[in-house]
């Protein structure tokens, strides 16, 4: 399957949950928010959403400071 | 002709500002015409909003309120009626955002923080030495009462966590995320969007250091979240957090909040 992650094309052989994909990509799951096809995908749905169910993901990695 | 003079409807036969000044016995002061200070004579137009501000005079509260918002323009003031914003975190971002929104005249502010003011806050946060070790909620409420006493300020002295954030913010339509920690920023976005779909969140990420001002931007995330900052400059050992960039980012958030209040949803 094929989709975009932060504007870059990703090709995967096996489908997997969004959570598993994010972990494999090395994201710190405590510090990110995920947009799936233009809508936020809240953390509670990462486990039950398959990564192949969308065309495009944006992941924002928050940095500290305020 | 029907105009508004010092917030009051008024019928006048005057054709211009100079005639109105004579009619109202106004000489020494500031003239604001539809949100703009003028020193020349201009023709009056139907429904114009005029303020004559007498030098040295402290007006009664109602008039003061009108004069304080005279530079906003009437269209903005009309939309600010009934406006309300929750600010989560009252550090460098939240304190400056709160002051900005209080100045413009957002009618109600809900201020949420559990912390107290300490010396290392003062390089960027909107507090005074006299606030040291006071609760940030109380210190900010006091300042807002000095700047704009017409703002209704409510405070919640609590740390927002996944278990209380939705309850505390359930009635808030516009939520400003102004936390310090990256994990808290992600937490509030995820918790709120998991439980509500009608809230607008204005968040921030990346304002540490002294990189270019122009790297700080407002971007949209999902359909109702805005993120301000350069998205990369995090506070860490040897990367400081200082007033100029923090205030730029806070101003981005405050302006996006104002835009949302004014029904402008594009960045």
pLDDT digits (tens, 9 = 90+) for B40-89: 999 999 999 999 999 999 999 999 999 999 999 999 999 999 999 999 99
Residues 6 through 65 of chain A touching chain B, CB cutoff 8 Å:
30-33, 35, 38-40, 42-45, 58, 60-65
Question: Residue B155's closest CA among B139, B131, B133?
Answer: B139
Q: Is B194 strand, coil or helix?
A: helix
Which pLDDT score, from 0 to 100, does residue B218 have? 98
Residue pair B101/B257 in contact by the 8 Å Cβ criterion: yes
**B197 at the A interface (CB within 8 A)?**
no
pTM of the model: 0.96
Nearest CA in chain A to B192: A42
CA-to-CA dists, residue B209 to B95, B215, B239, angstroms: 19, 12, 6
**Interface ipTM above 0.90:** yes
Nearest-CB residue to B205 (from A30, A35, A62): A62
- Compute the mean pLDDT over every residue in chain A, rounded to the nearest whole number: 97
Measured distance CA(B193)–CA(A43) in Å, rounded? 9
Token output for B23: 């009619």
Q: How far, in whole angstroms, is CA B137 from its chain's centroid?
A: 16
Q: What is the pLDDT of residue B229?
A: 98
Q: Directed axis angle between helix B243-261 and helix B92-104, to 10°?
A: 40
CA count, 13 A, side-chain hemisphere, B246: 29
The confidence score (pLDDT) of residue B62 equals 95
- Identify the three-state secondary structure at position B66: helix
Instruction: Determine the pLDDT at residue B167.
Output: 98
Q: Binning pLDDT at 50, 70 and 90, where does residue B182 land?
A: very high
């Amino acid at each position: 399957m094929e989709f975009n992650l932060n504007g870059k094309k990703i090709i995967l052989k096996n489908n997997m949950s969004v959570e598993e994909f994010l972990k494999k990509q090395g994201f710190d799951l405590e510090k990110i928010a995920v947009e799936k096809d233009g809508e936020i995908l809240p953390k509670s749905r990462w486990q039950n959403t398959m990564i192949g169910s969308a065309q495009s993901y944006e992941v924002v990695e928050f940095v500290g400071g305020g | 002709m029907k105009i508004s003079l010092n917030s009051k409807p008024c019928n006048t036969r005057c054709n211009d500002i100079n005639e109105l000044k004579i009619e109202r016995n106004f000489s020494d002061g500031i003239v604001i015409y539809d949100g703009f200070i003028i020193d020349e004579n201009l023709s009056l137009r139907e429904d114009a909003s005029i303020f004559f501000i007498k030098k040295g005079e402290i007006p009664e509260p109602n008039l003061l309120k009108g004069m304080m918002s005279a530079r906003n323009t009437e269209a903005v003031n009309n939309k600010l009626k009934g406006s309300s914003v929750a600010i989560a975190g009252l550090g460098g971002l939240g304190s400056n955002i709160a002051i900005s929104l209080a100045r413009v005249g957002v009618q109600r502010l809900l201020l949420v923080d559990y912390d107290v003011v300490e010396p290392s806050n003062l390089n960027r946060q909107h507090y005074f030495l006299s606030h040291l070790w006071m609760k940030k909620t109380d210190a900010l409420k006091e300042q807002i009462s000095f700047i704009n006493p017409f703002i209704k300020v409510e405070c919640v002295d609590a740390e927002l966590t996944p278990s209380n954030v939705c309850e505390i913010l359930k009635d808030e339509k516009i939520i400003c995320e102004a936390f310090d920690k990256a994990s808290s920023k992600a937490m509030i976005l995820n918790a709120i969007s998991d439980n509500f779909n009608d809230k607008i969140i204005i968040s921030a990420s990346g304002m540490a250091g002294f990189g270019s001002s122009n790297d700080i931007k407002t971007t949209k995330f999902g359909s109702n979240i805005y993120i301000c900052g350069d998205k990369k400059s995090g506070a860490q050992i040897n990367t400081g957090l200082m007033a100029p960039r923090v205030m730029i980012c806070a101003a981005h958030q405050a302006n996006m909040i104002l835009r949302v209040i004014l029904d402008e949803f594009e960045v």
